[in-house]
């Protein structure tokens, strides 16, 4: 399968960007509208499952859709993913019950699981290496637009139209993105009949479902990581993973070819994003809780404080996009990943007296370091494997990234709540009955005595210090992992040795 040269590159890029931005925008818009949706559909008990079902579908189907794109063509599968996303939007927008909304979000999630990895693959086969490096370095920063626009769009839809249009607005935009890409992209495919590894796909779905349902159940059903149900699900996941590996070693067209894990860069980058997401997602995602309860910021101000991270990531991502084809990428990652170590060390010092400027500087430093991953890891993966495996390789690395983020967020959230609860227990004699339990997840209530409020804020600060100390060890581990990347410079494939992927060519 090849991408023909008569592609209209501008139309291809435009179609991909429209699709990606609106797929990302959907998440933030839906989050803003959820309180209204829950109230109208009487679905408070299923609140967390709306995000959980979407996340499960996205994560599970990433490598499967990547493999299907390798087999049947990027354009066909990408447009199929867009069709699924639109179909899910229709089901969600017309949903009369929470059950139907969950079904729609699941369909949306399956479609979204193919949009990002396949967009990167299509760009990889449409643009030459140096242009691709610059374009992909902008992908991460562009995703800031949904974060900025989401609350505004969601609030307007709910306040001036109705919540159904939160989903239905995706239909014309998705159709526009699909039409632009369809006109601009030309793809020729081999007529050779290819088999699909249905057994491997089903086993992978069951393995990931067993694994990822664990944090969803913990977050939404009040279970703990040590409960028999969760332990049973983790054991079941391990058994399915073992079965999946055995199946993949036997079939002709495995969903995830095992030889990918003999590729040094694929293994290193999968480990890097897994460890990094495990370590930083919990601390970063829960930080607005600290900002509101200890620093006294409004929810909006606490959310926008995270933009300091993007202010560092954007210039770093752009700079790395220009440098990654000129200097060894291992050196770039090593230098950049010193910065998150510094940033998380600074976060371990947070206290009741911590200022907004301190946090802005710290997040900016972390962003400067993590910016190396915005497009850089995907580009290295693409150039480290044969073209016919680029879809599944990207999907696999992003699978590890999603696993790290999902599990890390749940573990750190549970740990934070436990630390706060334990700390507040010593003050329970000064609190109304049952209030100590509520503070761990709901924040500090208004109307408490000033001295008591300050004591609880110290408990929060101590709990977050512990969280960031754990994150620091994960970030140090990620820094060590960067040293295992190959020492090469990304080079155009045609300039490489015929039998070697480009990213393996030494400087």
Which of the pair, 309 or 505, is modelled with greater confidence? Answer: 309
Strands (E), 301-351: none
* Least confident interval from 46-50, 202-206, 320-324, 414-418: 46-50
pLDDT over 50 at 1, yes or no: no
pLDDT for position 340? 92
- What Cα–Cα distance (Å) separates residue 428 from each residue in 403, 425, 446, 452, 454? 37, 5, 16, 10, 14
Same fold, 1-191 and 258-507: yes
CA 99 to chain centre: 25
pLDDT for position 345? 94
pLDDT for position 188? 66
CATH level 3 topology of 258-507? Growth Hormone; Chain: A; (1.20.1250)
pLDDT band for position 169 (50/70/90)?
confident
pLDDT for position 147? 65
In the predicted model, what is the mean pLDDT of residues 34-57?
Answer: 75
pLDDT for position 83? 92
In the predicted model, what is the mean pLDDT of residues 257-286?
Answer: 86
pLDDT for position 192? 61
Nearest one of 274, 216, 270, 282 to 392, comparing CA atoms: 270
Residue with tokens 């299907």: 68
Which of the pair, 491 or 468, is modelled with greater confidence? Answer: 468
- What Cα–Cα distance (Å) separates residue 491 from each residue in 63, 335, 359, 403, 500? 26, 21, 39, 30, 11
The helix (run of H) or strand (run of E) holding residue 188 is strand 187-188
Query: What are the sequence ranges of the domains in the chain?
Result: 1-191, 197-252, 258-507
| Tens digits of residue pLDDT in 219-243 | 667 677 778 888 998 999 999 999 9
pTM above 0.75?
A: yes
In the predicted model, what is the mean pLDDT of residues 242-250?
Answer: 91
pLDDT for position 173? 84
* Least confident interval from 7-21, 206-220, 484-498: 484-498
| Tens digits of residue pLDDT in 412-458 | 877 887 888 777 777 666 666 666 666 766 667 776 777 777 888 88
- What Cα–Cα distance (Å) separates residue 416 from each residue in 81, 93, 452? 37, 35, 20
pLDDT for position 84? 92
pLDDT for position 503? 47
pLDDT for position 76? 87
How many contiguous H segments (helices) and E segments (strands) does the chain have?
20, 2
| Tens digits of residue pLDDT in 379-405 | 788 788 887 777 888 888 888 888 888
CATH level 3 topology of 1-191? Growth Hormone; Chain: A; (1.20.1250)
Q: What is the DSSP string of 402-471?
A: HHHHHHHHHHHHHHHHHHHHHHHHTTGGGS-TTHHHHHHHH-PPTT--HHHHHHHHHHHHHHHHHHHHHH
* Least confident interval from 148-157, 214-223, 317-326: 148-157
* Least confident interval from 21-25, 81-85, 339-343: 21-25
pLDDT band for position 496 (50/70/90)?
very low
pLDDT for position 3? 45
pLDDT for position 435? 65
pLDDT over 80 at 119, yes or no: yes
- What Cα–Cα distance (Å) separates residue 468 from each residue in 221, 287, 335, 336, 462? 26, 10, 21, 19, 10
């Amino acid at each position: 399968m090849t991408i023909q040269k008569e592609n209209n590159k501008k139309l291809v890029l435009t179609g991909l960007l429209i699709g990606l931005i609106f797929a990302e925008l959907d998440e933030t818009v839906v989050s803003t509208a959820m309180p209204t949706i829950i109230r109208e559909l009487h679905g408070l008990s299923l609140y967390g499952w709306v995000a959980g079902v979407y996340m499960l579908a996205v994560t599970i189907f990433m490598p499967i859709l990547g493999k299907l794109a390798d087999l049947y063509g990027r354009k066909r599968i990408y447009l199929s993913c867009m069709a699924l996303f639109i179909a899910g939007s229709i089901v969600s927008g017309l949903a009369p019950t929470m059950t139907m909304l969950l079904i729609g979000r699941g369909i949306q999630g399956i479609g979204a699981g193919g949009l990002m990895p396949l967009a990167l693959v299509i760009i990889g086969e449409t643009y030459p290496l140096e242009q691709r490096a610059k374009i992909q370095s902008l992908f991460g920063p562009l995703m800031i637009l949904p974060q900025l626009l989401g609350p505004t769009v969601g609030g307007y839809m709910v306040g001036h139209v109705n919540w159904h249009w939160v989903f239905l607005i995706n239909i014309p935009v998705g159709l526009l993105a699909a039409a632009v890409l369809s006109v601009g992209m030309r793809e020729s495919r081999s007529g050779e009949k290819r088999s699909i590894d249905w057994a491997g796909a089903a086993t992978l779905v069951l393995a990931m479902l067993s694994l990822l349902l664990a944090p969803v159940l913990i977050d939404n059903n009040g279970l703990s990581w040590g409960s028999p149900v969760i332990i049973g699900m983790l054991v079941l996941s391990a058994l399915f993973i073992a079965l999946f590996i055995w199946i993949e070693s036997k079939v002709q067209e495995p969903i995830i070819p095992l030889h990918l894990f003999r590729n040094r860069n694929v293994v290193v980058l999968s480990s890097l994003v897994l460890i990094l997401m495990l370590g930083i997602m919990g601390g970063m995602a829960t930080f607005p809780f600290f900002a509101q309860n200890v620093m006294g910021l409004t929810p909006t101000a606490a959310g926008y404080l995270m933009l300091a991270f993007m202010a560092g990531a954007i210039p770093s991502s752009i700079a790395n996009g220009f440098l990654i084809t000129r200097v060894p990428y291992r050196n770039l990652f090593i230098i950049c990943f010193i910065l998150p170590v510094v940033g998380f060390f600074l976060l371990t010092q947070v206290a009741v007296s911590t200022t907004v400027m301190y946090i802005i500087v710290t997040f900016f430093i972390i962003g400067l370091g993590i910016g190396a991953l915005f497009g850089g890891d995907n580009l290295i993966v693409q150039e480290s494997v044969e073209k016919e495996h680029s879809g599944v390789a990207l999907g696999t690395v992003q699978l590890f990234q999603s696993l790290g983020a999902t599990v890390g967020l749940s573990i750190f959230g549970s740990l934070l709540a436990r630390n706060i609860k334990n700390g507040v227990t010593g003050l329970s004699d000064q609190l109304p009955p049952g209030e100590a339990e509520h503070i761990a997840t709901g924040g500090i209530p208004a109307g408490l005595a000033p001295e008591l409020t300050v004591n609880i804020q110290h408990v929060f600060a101590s709990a977050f210090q512990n969280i960031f100390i754990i994150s620091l060890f994960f970030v140090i581990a990620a820094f060590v992992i960067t040293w295992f990347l190959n020492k090469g410079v990304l080079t155009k494939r045609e300039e490489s040795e015929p039998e070697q992927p480009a990213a393996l060519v030494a400087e």
